[in-house]
Amino acid sequence: MIIAELEQILISPVMGKNKLRRWEELKSMQRVFQPDVTYHSADCYLKGTWSNSVFLNKQPIILEAGCGKGEYSVEMAKKFPHKNFIGMDIKGARIWRGAKTINEQNITNAAFLRLRIELIEKFFAPDEADEIWLTFPDPQPQKSRENRRLTSPAMLHRFKSILKSKGLLHLKTDSLQLMEYSTEMLQQQTGKMLFHTFDLDASGFNDERLFIQTTYEKIFRSEGKKIGYLCFQFEK
């Protein structure tokens, strides 16, 4: 116990310094945005201008909500240069990895945005996004935290508001509970389920976007967990 406590004391300052260093690096990186926006503040200056002011083109915009290290956004940006990708997460030390990659490799069709996902309507105008990806979000299994799930009715309303008509929502998860919950919530929405499976590997569904694996997915697969996937098309 004494050794473990000592290790924690020694490790914590190092981890703290790494976070501080990454936060500072983010400030100097291109296509990394960290606006100070709260529930009570005005909308972000980027709202409605991503195509013109950030990407300088009219290509489709795909969002990854709760992107973590941004692995999915980075890999999709590489595979699909004629689309624009924005990874979003509140943890600056996480998005640092993806942001560093797009800057070092000059991947100009990708960007990162630090925000609380529940404030997403302050950053994107109605009909500004074409697709939203949820890649292994926290399932928030406790009933008391249901409203924090990224497929809660409140979040689905926010996503729908910024998606274009017939915009797509994708979910990949190892959580059976989250798949069942999300399916139920989406059935209450106007639109249609384009694809749905509780076992992606056994489904035979062939889409190269689904071959991308995050660090979390690799861990879940190594543990023998099945990967669920759904794609829902909203209608307005």
166: left (phi over 0), alpha (psi -120 to 50) or beta: left
Q: What's the burial of 119, exposed, middle or buried (CB within 10 Å: 0-12/13-18/19+)?
A: middle
Question: HSE-up of 211 (CA within 13 Å, CB side)?
Answer: 5
Nearest of 146, 157, 209 to residue 180 by alpha carbon: 146
Query: Cα 11 to the chain's mean position, in Å?
Result: 29
Catalytic site includes residue 199: no
Nearest of 139, 159, 151 to residue 62 by alpha carbon: 159
Integer Cα distance of 46 and 124 in angstroms: 7
Q: Which two tokens stand for residue 153?
A: 């009715």
Pairing between strand 61-65 and 129-135? Answer: parallel
Residue type (1 letter), 141: P
Helices and strands counted in the chain (H then E): 7, 8
Integer Cα distance of 22 and 27 in angstroms: 9
Active-site option among 36, 43, 130, 138:
138
Q: Let me know: does 111 contact 46? Beta carbons within 8 Å.
A: no
Residues that are catalytic: 138
